[in-house]
Chains A and B, each alone.
Chain A
Amino acid sequence: MSGRTALAGKEVEDEEHLDVAEPESADEPGRRPRWPRVLGALLAVVLLATGGLLFAEGRELRDTPATGNLALTDAEATTRVTGDVSNALGRIFSYGPDATALAKDAAREVLAGKALQQYAALFGQVEKQAADQKLTLTTHVVRAGVTRLTGTGAHILVFLDQVYERRGRPATTASAQLSVTAELRGERWRIVEISSI
């Protein structure tokens, strides 16, 4: 075994000698130059290092929480969720003394989960207040911005103006700011959580 290895080694040596004798390396007679191999190895190392570095840089550029959030980057979905949520809030928080059923129906349509429970719990009070004080409430969204958006979930900051009209008294306007969590259920966005800021 060891004899053979030695032989193989010898063979290479022989070939090297032969190679040197070839005319293409005739400009440096005696010994085959080492520098092309050294240069080649160096080049390979430099290329590998550059490649690795660029790859790492690219990854670092991509590796950011920014990409997971589609707010504004997906303009269509952003417009859609703000639209759906704004409409929903306007409907569920607008009612007259004899027209609370409309808001209640809307709530069943646009709310889900915790938000629906919260609304249902509050609504008895709302109905009573509307009837007793002859109160008409009109809510509209003045600004809405999406803070976080994924394929199926969204967080939205909403500025509301609410106009309270009590029969026989001048209307008053109050402002409210809500943080809304919405989920895409089927075709439409439904509000699953509302908290006041």
Chain B
Amino acid sequence: MTLRTRHLGGWAVLLAAALVCGLGAWSYAQARGDRTLAYAKARDTALAQGKRHLATLNSLDGKDATSVSAGLRAWRDSSTGPLHDQLKRTSAADAKTLTTAGDTANGKVTSAALTALDDRTGTAELIATVDVEVTPRTGSPGTQRKRFTAALARTGDGWKVKALTAMAAGDGG
């Protein structure tokens, strides 16, 4: 090997490395800039977090005052905007009535889907069916089947529930 070829070889290796780096950067930029991919991910995140929050908002441990206030705090953590404000406003009264009632509810989302998503403004609409197992302080537990539409909003802390509507029969118009 002459020095010239060694020299050239060195440059070739460097060029190849630069090319690999460039390709990697291009591939990454493609993935980063892929609007559809970002949208699909936002959809799945909104759905997963919305389901979790909906379960929380349908659950409460009514054992004593401490567990009720913990449950109400969880409700506030799952909500944002109007729903959050409303829960905050009524929290003292809610705590009192819920502690007196002493019912324990355990909500489970059985099925859910997003019906709309705007990932630019960070809003989504979710529909879900929830089975709520209610255990009264006295008496036997029962399960209520409910259906909801929920408006979700993206916050600094992920997607949260902005508004929640239980849809009874005939409500849908």
Contact = CB atoms under 8 A, between A and B. Distances in A.
Interface of A: 8, 11-12, 15-16, 19, 37, 40-41, 43-45, 47-48, 50-55, 57-59, 61-62, 64-67, 69, 71-73, 140, 142-147, 156-157, 159, 161-162, 173-175, 177, 179, 197
B110 A197 contact: yes
A48 B15 CA distance: 10
B153 interface: no
Interface stretch (B58-66, B71-79, B133-141, B165-173): B165-173
B40 A73 contact: yes
Interface of B: 1-3, 10, 13-14, 16-18, 20-25, 27-32, 34, 36-37, 39-41, 43-44, 110-117, 126-129, 145, 147, 149, 167-173
Given A58-B27, A71-B114, A142 B36 contact: no
A61 B21 CA distance: 18
A147 B1 contact: no
Nearest to B19: A51
The majority secondary structure among interface residues of chain A is helix
A87 to B, nearest CB: 16
A43 B14 CA distance: 7
Nearest to A69: B40
A12 B129 CA distance: 79
A11 to B, nearest CB: 8
Contact of A159 (B2, B41, B126, B147): B147
A48 B113 contact: no
Given A43-B14, A47-B20, A177-B129, A159 B117 contact: no
A133 B147 CA distance: 29
B115 A144 contact: yes
Contacts of B111: 147, 157, 177, 179, 197
Contact of A175 (B112, B127, B167): B167
Contact of B17 (A8, A43, A53, A161): A43
A40 B32 CA distance: 30
Nearest to A43: B14
Given A143-B115, A177-B147, A73 B43 contact: yes
Given A16-B3, A157-B113, A159-B172, A54 B24 contact: yes
Given A47-B20, A66-B43, A67-B40, A61 B31 contact: yes
